[in-house]
Amino acid sequence: MRLVGRRLLMTVPTLFGVLVVAFLLLNVVPGDPVAAMVGERADTATIARLRAELHLDDPLPAQFGRYLWAVMHGDLGRSYITQRPIAQDLAARFPKTVQLALAAMALAVLCGITLGVLSAIRPGGVVDRVAMLVSYLGVSFPVYWVGLLLILLFALALRWLPPSGSGGLAYLVLPALTLGMRSIAFLARMTRAAMLDVLSSDFVRTARAKGLSEAAVILRHAFRNALIPVITVIGLDTGSYLTGSILTETIFGWPGLGRYVLSAIEKRDLPAIQGSILFMSLVFLLVNLVTDLVYAKADPRIAYD
């Protein structure tokens, strides 16, 4: 509980720093959000009136103070484009991102850890070589290339799965596989290395000398002690999926948070961008906190003072 309390207190200055950096960067980049709202053909009087209504002509310290005060009261602002509260847009989009992230991570954990364990049991064997080939390919190929290749193969050539959109389970398969491909590769390599290190340890030889079955030695003793670096990859990748699946959601037309952020960037929707960045930072911090707590559960030797 002390760890959770300290980490939650640390999120306050962290989020404040994110808020300052995002606000300053978005206000110095070129482009006029009012021009993006009304179009290039709008007259100067309309543009000036909208800038005054949105307080965009105020000095930057005044704009930041007004925005900080609103955020402290739970108000992330209102979108320039949709005219809806940012919190409402995030609440509508984030569940779709969570659905995609959990599906991708479940696929990555199942495939990556399984390949890593099987490779470590028979190093240099057929399974090991195939698993390492898959991991190298998964790390080497960019996300957008994998997504387009899967669409060409399974949606256009074989017509097994829909190419884009959201709906039932069929719509989730291709984007989840695209998003989780790199994690499958990393988890396979990380699990294999950790398992090889643990399997050569003294306590594993002792367990075998006691007459335990090979399955008990691998699953009950070796695998649990190899989990720490694997949990690190899972935690970081889960946070990245929840906050950075922009390319995957764009390729497959998935109505999640990443696509919402990309649309806001294209249209210079400053409140939507700032609110999304702040929200995604909070999500990433919370995921890291959960990861640290899982460490202690997986390995009781870890203590947080």
pLDDT tens, 201-259? 888 788 788 877 777 788 777 787 777 778 878 887 887 888 768 888 888 888 888 88
Asked if pLDDT for residue 175 goes beyond 80, the answer is yes
pLDDT tens, 45-65? 777 777 777 777 778 888 888
CA angle 262, 264, 270 (to 5 degrees): 135
Token representation of residue 116? 């890593």
Contact status, residue 191 vs residue 230, Cβ threshold 8 Å:
yes
> What's the rounded mean pLDDT across residues 170-194?
88
Contact status, residue 204 vs residue 217, Cβ threshold 8 Å:
yes
Asked if pLDDT for residue 294 goes beyond 80, the answer is no
CATH code for the domain defined by 87-298: 1.10.3720.10
Token representation of residue 172? 């989730």
Q: Which residues pair with 78 in a beta bridge?
A: 85
H-run or E-run covering 222: none
CA angle 291, 200, 198 (to 5 degrees): 5
Domain edges within the chain = 2-72, 87-298
In which band, very low, low, confident or very high, does the pLDDT at 296 lie, cut at 50, 70 and 90?
low
The backbone torsions φ and ψ at residue 264, rounded to the nearest 5 degrees and listed phi first, read: -65, -40
Task: Give the model's pLDDT for residue 41.
Answer: 67
Residue carrying the six token digits 């300053």: 24
Within 8 A by CB and 6+ apart from 232, the residues are 291
Contact status, residue 271 vs residue 79, Cβ threshold 8 Å:
yes
> What is the share, in percent, of the chain residues with pLDDT greater than 70?
92
Task: Give the model's pLDDT for residue 32.
Answer: 67
Within 8 A by CB and 6+ apart from 200, the residues are none
Asked if pLDDT for residue 302 goes beyond 70, the answer is no
> What's the rounded mean pLDDT across residues 289-304?
68
> What's the whole-number average pLDDT of the chain?
82
Within 10 Å of residue 290's Cβ, how many Cβ atoms? 12
Q: Coil, helix or strand for 144?
A: helix
Within 10 Å of residue 301's Cβ, how many Cβ atoms? 9
Lowest mean pLDDT, pick from 109-123, 169-183, 238-252: 238-252
Contact status, residue 124 vs residue 196, Cβ threshold 8 Å:
no
Within 8 A by CB and 6+ apart from 265, the residues are 273
Q: 17 vs 24, 74, 137, 254, 280, CA distance in Å?
A: 11, 17, 37, 30, 14
Report d(CA 69, CA 90) in Å as an integer.
20
The backbone torsions φ and ψ at residue 130, rounded to the nearest 5 degrees and listed phi first, read: -65, -45
Q: What is the pTM of this model?
A: 0.80
Positive or negative, the Cα torsion across 26, 31, 37, 42?
A: positive
Within 8 A by CB and 6+ apart from 236, the residues are 288, 291
